[in-house]
Amino acid sequence: MGGPADSAPPAGHGESPGASAIGPVHCAPPMPADVDPLERRLLAHPHLLGDIAAAVGGPFHVLFPERVARNVTAFHEAFRAAGVDGFVYFGKKANKAACVARACAESGAGIDVASVGELVAALAQGVRGEDLMVTGPAKSDELLWLAVRHGSTIAIDALDELARLTRICAGHDQISRSTPPTRTGGPTPAGRPARILLRIQPDGSTSRFGLDRAELAQALRSAPAGGPVLLSGFSFHLSGYDATARADLAATLVEHCVRARADGHLADTISIGGGFGVDYLDAGSWTRFRDTSSEKWFHGRAPGQDYYPYHFPVPGAAMLTAVLAHNRLAEALRTNGIRLSIEPGRALLDRAGSSIFRVQGGKTRTAHGEPYDILTVDGTSLSLSEQWFDSEYLPDPVLWPARPGTITASCVGATTCLESDLLSRRRIPLPRRAQVGDLLVYPNTAGYQMDSNESTFHELPLPPKVVVREVDGRPGWSLDATAR
Ligand SMILES: Cc1ncc(COP(=O)(O)O)c(C=O)c1O
């Protein structure tokens, strides 16, 4: 690629109107993200990122599977330190890269899947069927059937789903057919009972997920001990990131297990879902932004105030330790011989990937008497999902390559016809003026940002995933299996 230095500034993008000697006034404060050491080396390398960008020829995501493995190990370590029998299922919806699933298989984690596609993709990367947890509402017959065939655990979300599973278990073995199983009698599809957890809806919750009290009682009557459906235990997934709420509800699930055992059920497992926080920003950056945020920092309208808690002081595995310590949950699990499963998505992807866009153009606008740059990159905000929840992804993009310059307030727009399609509505204090051909590296995007909203709108290609690993003492790259 002609290096960024070779590219001329776009029309109307001359000498630093977006900057002043003391820096821009109407501009968000800097919010730099800490990144994995391998990413730091990638950013510091003089050519590698530019070489990848040239080879791909459009926006792309990088992933660091070794980081995923280390994040899994941290959770395993938290279980070990608390003396608890625990199991980690990666919430696959958070990222569909094959290298992430492979890292899970290699580091002893299972995967939480919620569709046939996710189940098949997890198996393809070597995760065994018995290490899959099937979640999600109103699962299709095909998903239920495959789950039973592969000995996976199924988190039952509704009574009619349990009824369908029971019928499927009573159906003929259909492994050689592509059609869903028949509903007439016969052995279970796997020749063994279907392992289930009953997902509960917390008392007082208005969630559309899980079984309320009455439904739970009915489900227990519909799945008697010794039947085709084996009650392994109970589960929940809470929105939010509160350790105490999770520990309290987990204690209730332990009581459910004890009662179910008295009725002859196995009931030796509980799953407390995901929601382990990620610490994207240091405390100072986050509180400064949250407490002093101004409409004047944004191009157009400011997003709503419903931001992810970008500074999260007790994140990931440390949050698991806090859950286990609360009201001696670890002891209750040990005493009752109960395994604790967790389904972290975002937390297993912490610092495990970034999203890279090329600056394709730029212009200057003025608001509140101060100029600022609007950059246009070669992709869309659909590859940075947070923007689609009337919010903003706050960790600052890194402008690559690093060069001396003047701090310049810059927003980042997408190469689409939508006025509101901005990757960053806020004016970011970039350390120098961005030029056509520069790269913007949005850090720590592997958890949900990359692909949960991706779209080929405008017939733009989807950004491929690039795997970066340490090879012979330096970062090396290859295309992820999903991009080949
Ligand atoms: C059932 C279930 N488990 C796990 C997760 C993963 O949550 P997180 O990525 O916040 O850890 C989700 C996310 O929606 C979920 O619905």
Q: What is the DSSP string of 345-409?
A: SGGGGTTSEEEEEEEEEEEEEEETTEEEEEEEESS-GGGSGGGGGT----SPPEEES------EE
The pLDDT of residue 187 is 53
Which pTM does this prediction carry? 0.93
Nearest to 241 by CA among 331, 290, 307: 307
Return the number of other C-beta atoms located less than 10 Å from residue 175's C-beta.
11
Which distant-in-sequence residues (6+ apart) come within 8 Å of 475 by Cβ? 38, 41, 42, 45, 48, 468, 469
Confidence of residue 188 (pLDDT cuts 50, 70, 90): low
Taking the centre of ligand 1 as the mean of its atom positions, its distance from the CA of residue 124, in whole angstroms, is: 22
pLDDT digits over 344-378, tens only? Answer: 999 999 999 999 999 999 999 999 999 999 999 99
Q: Ligand 1: residues within 6 Å at CB? A: 91, 94, 112, 135, 237, 273-276, 343-347
HEC states along 271-286?
Answer: ECCCCCCCCCCCHHHH
Confidence of residue 186 (pLDDT cuts 50, 70, 90): very low
Q: How many residues does this entry show for the chain?
A: 484
The domain locations on the chain are 4-64+353-483, 65-278+315-349
Q: Residue with the nearest Cα to atom 9 of ligand 1?
A: 345
Ligand 1 atom at minimum distance from 94 CA: 9
Averaged pLDDT of the chain = 92
Architecture of domain 4-64+353-483: Beta Barrel (2.40)
Q: What backbone torsions phi and psi does residue 378 show, to the nearest 5 degrees?
A: -85, 20
Q: Which residue has the higher pLDDT, 172 or 147?
A: 147
Identify the weakest region by mean pLDDT among 44-58, 68-82, 384-398. Answer: 384-398
Which of 68, 236, 237, 271 best tests ligand 1's pocket when mutated (most atoms within 8 Å of CB)? 237
- Joined together, the tokens standing for residue 448 give 């949900």
DSSP string, 148-196: HHTT-EEEE--HHHHHHHHHHHTS---TT-SSPPP-SSSS-TTSSPEEE
Q: What backbone torsions phi and psi does residue 422 show, to the nearest 5 degrees?
A: -120, 135
Q: Do domains 4-64+353-483 and 65-278+315-349 have the same CATH topology?
A: no
CB-based contact 81:28 (threshold 8 Å): no
Q: H or E element: which one contains 10? A: none
Confidence of residue 170 (pLDDT cuts 50, 70, 90): confident
Confidence of residue 215 (pLDDT cuts 50, 70, 90): very high
Confidence of residue 190 (pLDDT cuts 50, 70, 90): low
pLDDT digits over 191-210, tens only? Answer: 678 999 999 999 999 999 99
Which distant-in-sequence residues (6+ apart) come within 8 Å of 274 by Cβ? 91, 112, 237, 342, 343, 344, 345, 346, 347
Residue given tokens 């204090």 in the structure block: 429
In three-state secondary structure terms, 128 is coil
- C-alpha 459/C-alpha 455 separation (Å) is 9
CA angle 342, 345, 346 (to 5 degrees): 125
Q: What is the mean pLDDT of residues 468-482?
A: 95
Q: Residue with the nearest Cα to atom 5 of ligand 1?
A: 274
Which of 343, 349, 451 best tests ligand 1's pocket when mutated (most atoms within 8 Å of CB)? 343
Which CATH number among 3.30.200.20, 3.20.20.10, 3.10.580.10, 3.40.50.800 corresponds to the domain 65-278+315-349?
3.20.20.10
Q: In the chain, count H helices and then E strands.
A: 12, 17
